[in-house]
Amino acid sequence: MKMAGSHTEAGGPETQSGEPLLGSYFVAAYPPFSQWTVAALDQYRHLLTQPSPLPKPVPLGLYVHIPFCTERCQYCYYLSYAGKTRNQIDAYLDALLAELAVYAQQPLLAGRMVDFVYLGGGTPSLLSPGRVVRLLRGLAQSFSWQAAREVTFECAPQTVNLPKLRELREAGVTRLSLGVQQLDDDVLARNGRSHSVRDVERAYAEIRQVAFDVVNIDLMVGMVGESDESVHRSLDRVVEWAPENVTIYQLEIPPNTPLYRAVGDRTLDGTLPSWEVKRGRLHQAFARLEAAGYTLRSAYTAVRDIDRHRFLYMEEQYRGSDLLGIGVSSFSYLNGVHQQNLAAFEPYMRSLRAGTLPLGRAYVLNDEERVVREFVLGLKLGRVEQAYFRDKFGVQVDRRFAEPLSRLSAEGWLTIDPTAITLTRQGLLRVDRMIPSFYLPAHRGVPYG
């Protein structure tokens, strides 16, 4: 669960319901990224120089982007690089530590404790055990996470080994996320995944030899060449393993992916399920997990123990916490201001060699935009409490969003009562399509990326 996103209003082939087959619909931020500007960076820089105006700052999260992969998956739209040398990787790790050290000196952040951490990519587990230790210990020197409630590290199955896992746990990682997608070798190969089912089985067995608080398995529906049988068989196997957390995403096809190009030049190795089929398979997957004792915590995530197995990186962001993102193309949200780092490797590195933060673009939200942001992201958790918005913003959300709420309620996608707005199962399955209904007029119909 990363902050990067590439939401577009794409055309191309359509399903029977008129939904474009191509494009990305996952909403990671509001207002849309296309509205963020270089001009707003001065306000972001000024913000960093001001002590926090809040008597008790909101929780602070840290996202660390490790953009290295062995090869790029067909559907991947996150910034990643294959083939970087050891020297380039070492230089990048030095840059990450330098960037965080600069932030640690800013009055807005000085002395604050990190509440949750997420190391994503790319493939963070591509790093050697020695590099992992150097990175984690170096990061902790700038921002202590001794009191952090959650530290997540993303892993790819073929890069997992026991020495690395033990170093991760000793360095403070509490939550390990394993990118599996499906347990079918043919489907994995068609989608450019570099691991096999055997790699997953070996990796999971080794992970269970190390006492992480939470192990998450990432799955996906809608992959090239999948079938009802391959999806169900994969999920049944995962249920047998009983990880604490299972995350399932619907595959999207943004324009900046190899899969998008393969559709366009008709070199696709297999067929793509429609949105109707993807939602049907996700609905069945959720039902299977619930039958096995899991509880849905969001539109994507199911947990075995709802009190113990939280995903704070997602939940706290959606509830307005601060997030500091470091690394090429990373996103931050601090005191109502969005910021994205420079989105190319060499400019990012040059900036830090020069001793300056690698800032790319920013957006300063006004009070109304902050209400919309927290409301639409809160919908992804399946339930928005009315009292929360009354207490924090002085807003009655069922009145503020009366028109779209009434319309979506009539569609059967949500329910409204005096205490909360609650998504139905059909609403959860299409929450990212629903969210733009609540945008302010200036942000409707604009490009997302």
- Per-residue pLDDT of 155-175, as tens digits, reads 999 999 999 999 999 999 999
Task: Give the C-alpha separation, 194 to 156, whole Å.
Answer: 9
Which tokens go with 328? 């090429």
Confidence of residue 6 (pLDDT cuts 50, 70, 90): very low
Task: Give the C-alpha separation, 337 to 349, whole Å.
Answer: 24
- CATH for 287: 3.80.30.20
Whether pLDDT at 443 is above 60: yes
Bridge partners of residue 63, in order along the sequence: 118, 325
**Which residues, in sequence order, are CB contacts of 145 under 8 Å at separation 6+?**
62, 113, 114, 117, 139, 151, 172
Higher pLDDT, 68 or 394: 394
**125 and 216 part of one domain:** yes
Mean pLDDT of 242-268: 81
- CATH for 425: 1.10.10.920
Cβ count near 408 (within 10 Å): 23
Task: Give the C-alpha separation, 364 to 362, whole Å.
Answer: 7
Whether pLDDT at 440 is above 80: yes
Q: What's the pTM value of the predicted model, to 2 decimals?
A: 0.92
pLDDT at site 3: 41
**48 and 119 part of one domain:** yes
Mean pLDDT of 264-289: 87
Whether pLDDT at 231 is above 50: yes
Supply the range of the domain harboring residue 209: 33-317
Per-residue pLDDT tens over the stretch 118-143: 999 888 988 998 998 899 999 999 99
Of 317, 341, 356, which residue sits at a domain end? 317
**153 and 50 part of one domain:** yes
**394 and 306 part of one domain:** no
**70 and 135 part of one domain:** yes
Task: Give the C-alpha separation, 167 to 127, whole Å.
Answer: 12
Whether pLDDT at 259 is above 80: no
**138 and 64 part of one domain:** yes
Check: CB of residue 431 under 8 Å from CB of residue 438: no
Sign, CA dihedral 317-320-324-327, equals: positive
Q: What is the 3-state secondary structure (H, E, C) of the chain?
A: CCCCCCCCCCCCCECCCCCECCECCCCCCCCCHHHCECCCHHHHHHHHCCCCCCCCCCCEEEEEEECEECCCCCCCCCCCEECCCHHHHHHHHHHHHHHHHHHHCCCCCCCCCCCEEEEEECCHHHCCHHHHHHHHHHHHHHCCCCCCCEEEEEECHHHCCHHHHHHHHHCCCCEEEEEEECCCHHHHHHCCCCCCHHHHHHHHHHHCCCCCCEEEEEEEECCCCCCHHHHHHHHHHHHHHCCCEEEEEECCECCCCHHHHHHHCCCCCCCCCCHHHHHHHHHHHHHHHHHCCCEECCCCEEECCCCCCCCHHHHHHHCCCEEEEECCCCEEEECCEEEEECCCHHHHHHHHHCCCCCEEEEEECCHHHHHHHHHHHHHCCCEEEHHHHHHHHCCCHHHHCHHHHHHHHHCCCEEECCCEEEECHHHHHCHHHHHHHHCCHHHCCCCCC
Confidence of residue 9 (pLDDT cuts 50, 70, 90): very low
pLDDT at site 311: 92
Tell me the CA distances in angstroms from 320 to 26, 290, 375, one per residue in order: 18, 28, 10
**291 and 432 part of one domain:** no
Residue 447 belongs to a domain: no
**114 and 181 part of one domain:** yes
**392 and 249 part of one domain:** no
pLDDT at site 16: 45
pLDDT at site 237: 96
pLDDT at site 404: 98
- In the chain, % of residues over pLDDT 70: 90
Residue 150 belongs to a domain: yes
Residue of 419, 365, 418, 374 whose CA lies nearest to 392: 374
Mean pLDDT of 430-447: 94
Whether pLDDT at 305 is above 70: yes
Residue 432 belongs to a domain: yes
pLDDT at site 77: 55
**306 and 379 part of one domain:** no
Task: Give the C-alpha separation, 224 to 35, whole Å.
Answer: 33
pLDDT at site 1: 41
- In the chain, % of residues over pLDDT 90: 73
Residue 137 belongs to a domain: yes
**299 and 375 part of one domain:** no
**Which residues, in sequence order, are CB contacts of 194 under 8 Å at separation 6+?**
70, 71, 156, 158
pLDDT at site 122: 83
Residue 362 belongs to a domain: no
Cβ count near 17 (within 10 Å): 8
**403 and 271 part of one domain:** no
Residue 230 belongs to a domain: yes
Higher pLDDT, 70 or 37: 37
Mean pLDDT of 265-277: 80
Whether pLDDT at 221 is above 90: yes
Whether pLDDT at 8 is above 60: no
pLDDT at site 53: 72
Phi/psi of residue 214, nearest 5 degrees: -135, 135
Confidence of residue 253 (pLDDT cuts 50, 70, 90): confident
Per-residue pLDDT tens over the stretch 348-359: 999 999 999 999
Confidence of residue 150 (pLDDT cuts 50, 70, 90): very high
Residue 352 belongs to a domain: no
Of 290, 317, 344, which residue sits at a domain end? 317
Whether pLDDT at 80 is above 70: no
Mean pLDDT of 317-321: 93
pLDDT at site 270: 73
Total domains in the fold of the chain:
2
Task: Give the C-alpha separation, 449 to 436, whole Å.
Answer: 14
Higher pLDDT, 21 or 37: 37
Residue 56 belongs to a domain: yes
Per-residue pLDDT tens over the stretch 377-426: 999 999 999 999 999 999 999 999 999 999 999 999 999 999 999 999 99
Whether pLDDT at 260 is above 90: no
pLDDT at site 5: 34
Whether pLDDT at 24 is above 70: no
